Structure 1
Amino acid sequence: MGDVTTIRRDVLTLPVADVGPDNPLPPLCPPDEIHRPDERDGEGLPRDMARQIGYGRLRSLLPERLRDGYGRSRAPRAVDTLVIENDRLRATVLPGYGGRVVSLVHKPGDRELLYRNPVFQPADFALNGAWFSGGIEWNTGATGHSTLACAPVHAARVTAPDGGDMLRLWEWERLRDLPFQVDLWLPDGSDFLYAGVRVRNPHERAVPLYWWSNTAVPEDRRVLAPADEAWHFGPERRLRRVPVPVHGGTDRTYPRRSEYPADHFYELPDGRRRWMAAVDADGRGLVQTSTDVLRGRKLFVWGTGSGGRRWQQWLTEPGTEGYCEIQAGLARTQLEHVRLEGESEVAWLEAYGPLTADAGTVHGTDWAAACSDVEERLERRLPRAGFEEAYKAWRTAADTEPGELLATGSGWGALEVLRAGHSLPGTPFDESALGDAQAPWQDLLRSGSLPEPRRAGPPGETLVAPHWRDLLETAPAHPHTEYHLGVAQWHAGDRAQAVRSWERALGLAPSQWPLLRCLAVADLEAGHRERAADRYTDAFDDLCRERRDDGEAWTAATAALGREAVAALLAVGRTAPARSVWERLRPATRRRGRFRLIEAELLLAEGDRDAARAVFDAGFEVADLREGAEAVGALWSRITDEPLPERYDFRMRPSGGGGA
């Protein structure tokens, strides 16, 4: 090949669990923020960190949908990839899954630099649900894994700063309404994959911004960064400053020496080059560096406890090597959001490549010497001054219009450009990307009226940004419009007006269950549990009368509403109505692990402890078990005093109230 860089389409065949349909019920409640620190720690934090921790928290996941329709049955499948390659490196990218770089191979030694997951298994780690482990992912939007983790992005061939080929990935991030791009290229003869990242705010208002580039590497490594202190954050949600590398009598830069999962956010000194490395026993591994805008560096470890080991198996398959994560972000910690002013942008350059350091030095007890060895070798391979020049050269190419289109993302960015006429050189959101999901909103733009559905079915997605809410408020007050308006008002914090919108629509709506369900959620949030149970019962009855078939949309709606209804009914002790809901779920739905757990809870509420125990003994897997969730262990502890079986042990902290 010589030094010529190529970009080509390819396929990767591996065991895949389908992502499945999205949950059609709008996520009205704020997400459970396992990354929110204990309020007791606020007074001891630096002022800017404390301010940014309190800034930009989500009211809800709207306009996104929850992605919880996946299972744990995997079958071999060919997944479309884009491969960028020169004579030194080969990077494999999944444009259908957030633009994830799933493999980075250093060709001279045929050495994989990343943790490469041998399976594709979604799990409930993204903000909106489905996520998978491994590779390099681009996390933006809000604290946590991106809603785009299992979603397509746009991809195209672009001319790189040196005249070669560059792979551009771009999308419209919907939680903050921000377009972003990631440009990947390999300079001629380079041992480093370059990633130029830009996030733009085309709006007049300032917007909270979050970005962390997240790299999975094998956990049998030592992780190094130029820092003597770190902010430690674990599942107990306490944020505290600790020394690096040793605290609590243990060198925490070795991932396998921690017992429980934990984040270590390194405090990099101002003026020091930003980098992070993970090296094996021979001193070989991966190094990541960036320009100074990407300030933060983090190490995440799963720990050696039974829960951490169980999670590792859950995300891949038994016998696979474990992994840890080294990450780089805009703030010091992932608990923060920074402010992106209106009509502005932020950009930086990252590089990922192989590192061979002196094993004795990087694994020695002299931390300063270990870091100096890595930094000196990085400087020889990729001089800081030259890297800064590469960033400047990339900035001149960031607006270059894409050439050959290699993959297509969503149509939401095209809708926003159509609405506001945004000028976004380099990241075209063409009208050809518009699809069925955007069609009613195009009608609203053109005619000022949101069309009523032509046939019965779960309602489509709701747009909740202020400009869309304004359009809904001035549109003719049809029931379908009032439903969407209520969702947008709820997201804006105007809950009383949202309830009024939903109630106005009830009398005329041919389909009442979506409105009743929204009103039930409002009742729960207001503490009216009995009325919420009534409304959930009515909503589920109405859905069962209305559903037309066993198709994917109706099955997903029945499962989602049934799950919420049973929980609301059991919360007020109504076991008979809860049983009635359960029995009207599809048989295939009742066999899913999440619903086996619900069945055990229902049996226990009915007083049949032995039958509830039998559900556990028969075995089930809750595919969408949330990171940090403890429901499985909590229910087990209500059934029996026996130790929690290993298969159900997902405890991420020393005392988890039953764990899992």
Structure 2
Amino acid sequence: MNTQLQFTKVKMKISKLGSEASLPDIFWDMQEKSKVKSKLSEYEEIFEGYGSVNTAYPYRQYNTYNRQLHTEEVSAAVLENSFLKATFLPDYGGRLWSLIDKVTGRNLLYTNDVIRPSNLALRNAWFSGGVEWNIGIIGHNPFTMSPLFTAEFLDEEKGPILRFYEFERVRKVSYQMDFWLEENSKYLNCRMRISNQNDTVIPMYWWSNMAVPQYQGGRVVVPATWAYTCIDNVLQKVEVPNNCGYDLTQYENINNQIDYFFDIEDKDSKYIANIDQNGYGLLQMSTDRLKGRKLFCWGKNEGSDRWQEYLTEEAGRYVEIQAGLGKTQYGCIPMAPNTAWEWLEQYGPIQISSGGTQNFDAAKGEVNDYVSSLIGGQKLEKILLETRSLSKVKGRVMYQGSQNGVMENCVRKKQEIPPISPHLDFTTADERYSEWISFLEDGTLCCPAPDKKPMEYICDEFIYDKLKSEVKAKEANNWYAWLHIGFYSLYKENFQEAKAALSKSNQLQENAWAKYGLSITAIAECCYEEAITLLESGIKQNRTDLSYVKESYKVLNKLKAVKVMHELYLQLPAEIAAESRMVLNYIIALKGIGEYQRAYELLMNNGGLEVDDIKEGEDSIGSIWLELYSKLYPKENAFVPHKFHFRSF
């Protein structure tokens, strides 16, 4: 059959995402990671820590979702030829959701049976399954739960082309992904492009994150003899395949949650494969720019099992294999000014002999030979070069994305510099920046009621400088202008300026937003009682905003303000108090004031509390159960119930 591209709807079981948080993501202390020690040599060049950020600012958190499922129609883009059927989800970061080998009828990817947000990403909400395209800042894509611009066009030689694109605010880059299936090909082509049209070097990050089935007797095959990993908070190199007495490429051997970043030599082909015990599975290949490959495994301890259950209904277990710009995900890599990075990836089936799967070296030898037969002689590099003009073809927009690109081009117009990626149409019905666009035009910023959720938070020096200039004149009495100056100053860690601006905002118009920001400046000054007082006042003023209350309680919990947490909880509206994280906060408060029996009863009510947004790496609920049980039943042996067991490390 001729290659076809169709835009359609598919029915899926999903949970409601909820709206974006009302507060900016500026409380970095809760997300602070201990610094990793390194045992690497001076020749590795993996840029540890370079480009790391404290929060997802200016992107807001998604922190009001729940786990209740319902069936809904979801937009899908389907590329199909005689050999492959690739289904993408435009509303979820352009995720490649399934890749069906039509010859065998098997899905080469792990496709979840639900889209149920869980707290594993930069912006909190994330779901497992498919291939996720992660850009900009370390971690999951800020757009992983958001629509991307989706376009199509026809190339006479390649056939229909599917394109996703967006503008990323932190690094200030546009990125696009062009997909096509040639008529007689068994491999999906993915042509990626990142454009840095800034005059400075920026930290850049990209990892294509493939969820694949955790096959019984399966293994990962990659052309490497060494891998980077972190053991006991020490970054080190280990031999592949044998480490700690077992073959790490046979992921069923791995006990605890871990990442392995494979060190592929420059001369070797860039690929990774996930194969079952019969030698069949997914092969991902790329041009040389995508030099890194990774295996992530949840492990097989009880916490690992709990996470695998928590993230799905009946889809089973998965592992992740990934491909990235850097050698590891411990840092970004520098991208030169006024530069475009492009590379080509291919995804498709592989079959090696079943005998070859029993031994890593044998499997690697067979896969190496197969890859050489497919892309030997720099074939992918040639395709990348030959399709350079294709990347600048304008497409017909099918679905719109955010107003980020429009806003960036408005700023660029004021600065008299060229617009971003002129071949990409950023026209959208999204109006999240409408008030900022008006401000750029006439220097007047709206002054809303203090109970209204703030608009987008700024992340641009030009707007910031203009705002500071205007508050010296006609915007001097605009509480809202001072608020945004304060939050951006917090993001820049300029605490004195932030405190002055937020204090001015609250002086002009008492508002819960400034109080939250001032609590963060108070913490920076080690004035913890002042921070608690500000948070308490802010919650009382904005107690019907679940997002606000949850973020404020996060800080109160960090400050161990259990008495205030307890008193405030009793004053919350019933629907806010009933939210699962808020119930956990109340249990923490009860435990803190010594009401162990009441706390334990609440924790165990209805078969045990299930927290909708339990965070990856968070062991709070298991630790709380253990502490309460030990207090109430000191003579009993305490074993954390499976439902509360999320410790997978």
* Alignment TM-score, normalising by the size of structure 2: 0.93
Q: Which residue of 2 aligns with 1:535?
A: 534
Contact 1:22 1:556 in 2 (8 A): no
Contact 2:52 2:331 in 1 (8 A): no
Equivalent positions of 1:240-639 (< 5 A) are: 240-317=236-313, 319-364=314-359, 367-402=360-395, 404-421=396-413, 422-425=418-421, 427-430=423-426, 432-433=427-428, 435-453=430-448, 456-475=451-470, 476-477=475-476, 478-509=478-509, 511-544=510-543, 554-560=544-550, 563-564=553-554, 566-567=556-557, 571-572=560-561, 575=563, 577-618=564-605, 619-639=608-628
Quote how far apart the aligned CAs of 1:378 are. Answer: 2.3
Inter-partner Cα distance in structure 2 for 1:602 and 1:280: 48
Indicate the SS of the match to 2:129: coil
Change in 2 beyond 3 A, CA 1:33/1:396: farther
Inter-partner Cα distance in structure 2 for 1:383 and 1:307: 43
Contact 1:182 1:195 in 2 (8 A): yes
Q: Please give the per-residue CA displacement for 1:248-274, whole angstroms capped at 9, x wherever unaligned.
A: 111111111111011110010121110
Contact 1:594 1:623 in 2 (8 A): yes
Change in 2 beyond 3 A, CA 1:410/1:360: same
Q: Please give the per-residue CA displacement for 1:381-417, whole angstroms capped at 9, x wherever unaligned.
A: 4445332221112222111111x21211111111101
Inter-partner Cα distance in structure 1 for 2:310 and 2:201: 39
Quote how far apart the aligned CAs of 1:561 are. Answer: 5.1
Q: Which residue of 2 aligns with 1:225?
A: 222
Quote how far apart the aligned CAs of 1:158 are. Answer: 2.4
Quote how far apart the aligned CAs of 1:62 are. Answer: 1.2
Quote how far apart the aligned CAs of 1:286 are. Answer: 0.5
Indicate the SS of the match to 2:373: helix
Equivalent positions of 1:88-127 (< 5 A) are: 88-127=83-122
Quote how far apart the aligned CAs of 1:238 are. Answer: 2.6
Letter in 1 for 2:648: M
Inter-partner Cα distance in structure 1 for 2:69 and 2:44: 46
Inter-partner Cα distance in structure 1 for 2:552 and 2:285: 48
Which one of 140, 144, 150 corresponds to residue 135 of structure 2?
Answer: 140
Q: Which residue of 1 aligns with 2:144?
A: 149
Inter-partner Cα distance in structure 1 for 2:625 and 2:234: 27
Inter-partner Cα distance in structure 2 for 1:474 and 1:60: 27
Q: Which residue of 2 aligns with 1:656?
A: none
Letter in 1 for 2:371: L
List alignment gaps of at least 5 residues for structure 1: 545-553, 654-660
Inter-partner Cα distance in structure 2 for 1:246 and 1:37: 27
**Which range moved further: 386-395 or 268-277?**
386-395
Indicate the SS of the match to 2:440: helix
Which one of 641, 644, 655 corresponds to residue 640 of structure 2?
Answer: 644
Indicate the SS of the match to 2:392: coil
Quote how far apart the aligned CAs of 1:525 are. Answer: 2.8
Quote how far apart the aligned CAs of 1:32 are. Answer: 5.7
Q: Please give the per-residue CA displacement for 1:157-211, whole angstroms capped at 9, x wherever unaligned.
A: 0234724111010011122221101111111211000111111111111111000
Contact 1:88 1:190 in 2 (8 A): yes
The CA RMSD measured in Å over matched residues stands at 2.0
Contact 2:225 2:241 in 1 (8 A): yes
Which one of 150, 168, 172 corresponds to residue 173 of structure 1?
Answer: 168
Inter-partner Cα distance in structure 2 for 1:36 and 1:238: 11
Q: Please give the per-residue CA displacement for 1:220-266, whole angstroms capped at 9, x wherever unaligned.
A: 121000001101235x4332111111111111111111110111100
Indicate the SS of the match to 2:189: strand
Q: Which residue of 1 aligns with 2:634?
A: none
Contact 2:3 2:160 in 1 (8 A): yes
Quote how far apart the aligned CAs of 1:419 are. Answer: 1.8
Quote how far apart the aligned CAs of 1:456 are. Answer: 3.6
Indicate the SS of the match to 2:401: coil
Letter in 1 for 2:612: A
Q: Please give the per-residue CA displacement for 1:107-155, whole angstroms capped at 9, x wherever unaligned.
A: 1221110001011111111111111101111011211111111011001
Q: Please give the per-residue CA displacement for 1:58-107, whole angstroms capped at 9, x wherever unaligned.
A: 14321100111111111111111111111111110000000000100011
Indicate the SS of the match to 2:508: coil
Indicate the SS of the match to 1:345: strand
Inter-partner Cα distance in structure 1 for 2:506 and 2:539: 15
Letter in 2 for 1:97: Y
Contact 1:255 1:302 in 2 (8 A): no
Q: Please give the per-residue CA displacement for 1:33-66, whole angstroms capped at 9, x wherever unaligned.
A: 6876523x2x53445535x113112143211001
Which one of 233, 236, 239 corresponds to residue 237 of structure 1?
Answer: 233
Contact 1:288 1:353 in 2 (8 A): yes
Q: Please give the per-residue CA displacement for 1:258-304, whole angstroms capped at 9, x wherever unaligned.
A: 11011110010121110000111110001000000001000111111
Contact 1:208 1:340 in 2 (8 A): yes
Inter-partner Cα distance in structure 1 for 2:157 and 2:494: 52
Indicate the SS of the match to 2:411: helix
Inter-partner Cα distance in structure 2 for 1:144 and 1:558: 24
Which one of 2, 5, 23 corresponds to residue 3 of structure 2?
Answer: 5
Contact 1:469 1:489 in 2 (8 A): no
Letter in 2 for 1:537: E
List alignment gaps of at least 5 residues for structure 2: 631-637
Contact 2:174 2:421 in 1 (8 A): no
Contact 2:158 2:181 in 1 (8 A): no
Letter in 2 for 1:406: M
Identity %: 28
Indicate the SS of the match to 2:530: helix
Contact 2:178 2:191 in 1 (8 A): yes
Change in 2 beyond 3 A, CA 1:564/1:253: closer
Inter-partner Cα distance in structure 2 for 1:60 and 1:34: 9
Q: Which residue of 2 aligns with 1:203?
A: 198
Inter-partner Cα distance in structure 2 for 1:57 and 1:31: 14
Inter-partner Cα distance in structure 2 for 1:418 and 1:450: 16
Contact 1:212 1:330 in 2 (8 A): yes
Inter-partner Cα distance in structure 1 for 2:597 and 2:387: 65
Inter-partner Cα distance in structure 1 for 2:244 and 2:158: 52
Contact 2:23 2:548 in 1 (8 A): no
Letter in 2 for 1:390: I
Which one of 153, 157, 162 corresponds to residue 157 of structure 2?
Answer: 162
Quote how far apart the aligned CAs of 1:427 are. Answer: 4.7
Contact 1:287 1:354 in 2 (8 A): yes
Q: Which residue of 1 aligns with 2:635?
A: none
Change in 2 beyond 3 A, CA 1:531/1:36: closer
Inter-partner Cα distance in structure 1 for 2:252 and 2:105: 26
Q: Please give the per-residue CA displacement for 1:557-599, whole angstroms capped at 9, x wherever unaligned.
A: 453355246536x7245x1x43332123232222222112111
Letter in 2 for 1:388: E
Contact 1:166 1:184 in 2 (8 A): yes
Inter-partner Cα distance in structure 2 for 1:462 and 1:80: 29
Inter-partner Cα distance in structure 2 for 1:35 and 1:196: 34
Inter-partner Cα distance in structure 2 for 1:429 and 1:529: 48
Quote how far apart the aligned CAs of 1:371 are. Answer: 0.9
